[in-house]
Structure 1
């Protein structure tokens, strides 16, 4: 994928061969926001700073992965939970994982306000300690080095057909099959 000033949402589908099918769409950048814990240094060490994903980008990500009722979504680096909440509004259920307990608290409150708390679960933990199994869709807005660290686990722990959507950053040599 070429370097551009825009950001890309990438959708990958694991294939039985261990390879991936990937679709991409370039979208405008998200706006940065940091939690109090991250700003003051009183929180956990972060591999990725929190950047809130815009609603149009979230909708595109979920469309690319065809998220709907019956899907089980794992949102790695969930932040304030907006991606998982949007997926739950489409009838999916899932878990959002973030190392920042302040953001997890915000995500739980937002899910309650949105009326989807019964379909969402938010956990404050390291995403590298999070089991990946049992999900049909994995969403993430992580840095390239984190995506690369996750790749072996994604291939090993997720069954063929699992959809992976990465906002903004690619998965290195998992080149897009389709760009729109």
Structure 2
């Protein structure tokens, strides 16, 4: 019986340790970095966000972009985040802002997310992840706006590009692509 318990404990510890390594490695690849308020403002303007939009934020962190769009314009919003604590924080901040009926946040894998409802898609991820997302992004409806923060989409030429001085004292690059009509 002791041997069986020992084997089970080793198995459980190995599973927990393995899971922590994956999580740690992922967070090392995609750290949580907040978007300054001035940059959030510029994203809203660049995306010409209105009440008719559905704003998706991939790697939504504390949810500030969907929350701000909902607060300002009554826009529906959605955020996906891998960190459960940030998802909980996003939900609490949405409730505090009085927009929890307009926005939702989930913990999950952004590569598994259905994006078809998005009219404005915001991405603040590293270039290699942006490139891996391109096949999904190509399936978006014509007119959908994709805005990336600091990193472009490789050889995709943006429709607009601007630089914003953030309230953090750093220059932030924003790139906009609009999914074209199919021929």
- Structure 2 length normalisation: TM-score? 0.72
Q: Secondary structure at the match of 1:117?
A: coil
Provide the alpha-carbon RMSD of the alignment.
Answer: 1.6
Is the CA contact (8 Å cut-off) linking 1:138 and 1:164 kept in structure 2? yes
Indicate the SS of the match to 2:101. helix
Q: Which residue of 2 aligns with 1:100?
A: 83
Q: How many residues align?
A: 139
Change (3 A) 1:43 1:115: farther
Aligned 8 A contact 1:148 1:172 in 2? yes
Deviation at 1:176, TM superposition (A): 3.1
Cα gap change, 1:179 to 1:164, in 2 (>3 Å) = closer
Structure having greater relative contact order (Cα 8 Å, sep ≥ 6): 1
More strand by share: 1
Bigger Cα Rg: 2
1:159 to 132, 141, 150: 141
Contact 1:139 1:165 in 2 (8 A): yes
Distance between the aligned counterparts of 1:179 and 1:99, measured in 2? 28
Q: Mind listing any 5+ residue stretches in structure 1 that lack a counterpart?
A: 1-40
The answer to whether the 8 A contact 2:67-2:77 is kept is no
Which has the larger share of helix?
A: 2
Gap runs ≥5 in structure 2: 1-19, 163-183
